[in-house]
């Protein structure tokens, strides 16, 4: 079994993140992650040796609410508990930094994953801010 190392807010390049996201997310458009990471409460990365194999970002409101974003695991490393460990580490770090709540939005097929990470069902609202295609 390959040893996975988890790092809290360690430096990570946009190049590495874009490579990971391109493998894990269909239609990923490469972009500069540095403005996002600079504004985050923290982020957690997973590494197999020198290879980036997982990532999760923790955004926040500057107060007591944190938001889990972009939980991503390299396809070759999925279903090995890496995603759960990323979320666990992000949860612990958000709590350590004084947050009281950790929110996450997810697609229906990911419900069992997030429930296994301890998230409870809540009602929420959403407005799309993208222009509608007509």
> Phi and psi for 111 in degrees, rounded to 5?
-60, -45
**Predicted local confidence at residue 122, as pLDDT:** 87
Token pair 């458009």: residue: 29
Boundaries of every domain in the chain: 5-116
Which tokens belong to 119?
Answer: 């998230």
Do 43 and 12 meet the contact criterion of CB atoms below 8 Å apart?
Answer: yes
Q: What angle do CA 66, 28, 118 make, to 5 degrees?
A: 35
Binning pLDDT at 50, 70 and 90, where does residue 20 land?
very high
Query: Under CATH, which number does the domain 5-116 receive?
Result: 3.40.630.30
pLDDT per position as a tens digit, 61-115: 999 999 999 999 999 999 999 999 999 999 999 999 999 999 999 989 999 999 9
DSSP 6-40: EEES----HHHHHHHHHHHSTT------HHHHHHS
Tell me the C-alpha distance between 105 and 34, whole Å: 22
Binning pLDDT at 50, 70 and 90, where does residue 31 land?
very high
pLDDT at 60 over 60: yes
**Predicted local confidence at residue 129, as pLDDT:** 83
């Amino acid at each position: 079994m390959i040893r996975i190392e988890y790092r809290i807010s360690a430096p990570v390049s946009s190049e590495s993140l874009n490579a990971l996201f391109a493998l894990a997310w269909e239609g990923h458009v490469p972009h500069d992650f540095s403005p996002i990471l600079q504004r985050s409460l923290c982020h957690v990365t997973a590494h197999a040796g020198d290879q980036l194999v997982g990532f999760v970002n923790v955004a926040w409101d500057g107060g007591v609410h944190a938001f889990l974003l972009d939980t991503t695991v390299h396809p070759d490393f999925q279903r090995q508990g890496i995603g759960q460990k990323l979320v666990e580490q992000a949860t612990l770090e958000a709590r350590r930094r004084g947050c009281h709540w950790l929110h996450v939005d997810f697609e229906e097929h990911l419900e069992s994953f997030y429930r296994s990470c301890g998230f409870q069902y809540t009602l929420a609202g959403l407005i799309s801010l993208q222009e509608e295609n007509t």
